[in-house]
Amino acid sequence: MKTIALPDGTTVPALGQGTWMMAEDADRHAAEIAALRTGIDLGMTLIDTAEMYADGESERLVGEAITGRREDVFLVSKAYPQNASRTRLPQACEASLRRLGTDRLDLYLLHWRGGVPLVETVEAMGRLVDAGKVLRWGVSNLDTDEMEELIAAGGKACATDQILYNLTRRGPEHDLLPWLATHTIPVMAYSPVEQGRLVADAELCSLATDLGATPAQVALAWLLAQNNVIAIPKAGRSAHVHDNRAAADLVLAPDTLARLDGLYPRPRCRAPLEML
């Protein structure tokens, strides 16, 4: 499994597991627990969740899945922007820790930019690190100008920017990705197969057939071929997890990468960072 180095030198797998839209149906509970555990077994040990997902039930699901295996997992969660203040962030963090059944997060993210000044969020994150509740912190859905503001607010310890990035969402390549690379901040790509829509893309299906792979595997392999990118696909079934894991072993040749560039070119000019 390819690994990505965080700014503090910690390495994480380039292919992790997302949990957005999990824990929303009790009938899928057992299958989702099994899927997360299968991913851990296969080396996809970075698991991303958030207090927002299923109103905290996603965190509870992850907590159940990692019971007895906490030391095997790099655990990521995210705080609502309205909870990113000096007084509310510690409370939000404690609530997430209770739902996850753990005493610390490996990475805690600001989910998106809200009304709380970044300087206050940076201070609150630092206090959580000092208290040992959070080992490192980062952000999500922040564009280039906001990242510059974050650094100016004292946020040089930011460990990642989790953004919407996939074959059909290549806008960040204009300036955000180069800016992050300059500051040695890796990207965490959510919705790497566009919430499943890429799987039905006729052009991608044709290319995948030529490679003897699935469209999702090609989309994930393209992301994994980029520098300093961590992909966090969601999979609610163990079979789906196995399919995703195979993408980490799929090496795309230069002509295939060129073909993908032709099919899914990046926008000609810069646009604001997109969100889902």
Length of the chain: 276
Catalytic residue among 53, 165, 190, 264: 53
Both tokens assigned to 239: 């079979």
Based on the residue annotation, tell me whether 53 is a catalytic residue of this protein.
yes
3-state secondary structure the chain: CCEEECCCCCEEECECEECCCCCCCHHHHHHHHHHHHHHHHCCCCEEECCCCHHHHHHHHHHHHHCCCCHHHCEEEEEECHHHCCCCHHHHHHHHHHHHHCCCCECEEEECCCCCCCHHHHHHHHHHHHHCCCECCEEEECCCHHHHHHHHHCCCCCCCCEEEECECCECHHHCCHHHHHHHCCCCEEEECCCHHHHHHHCHHHHHHHHHHCCCHHHHHHHHHHCCCCEEECCECCCHHHHHHHHHHCCCCCCHHHHHHHHHHCCCCCCCCCCCCC
CB 150 within 8 A of CB 178: no
**CB distance 166 to 187 below 8 Å:** no
Catalytic residues: 53
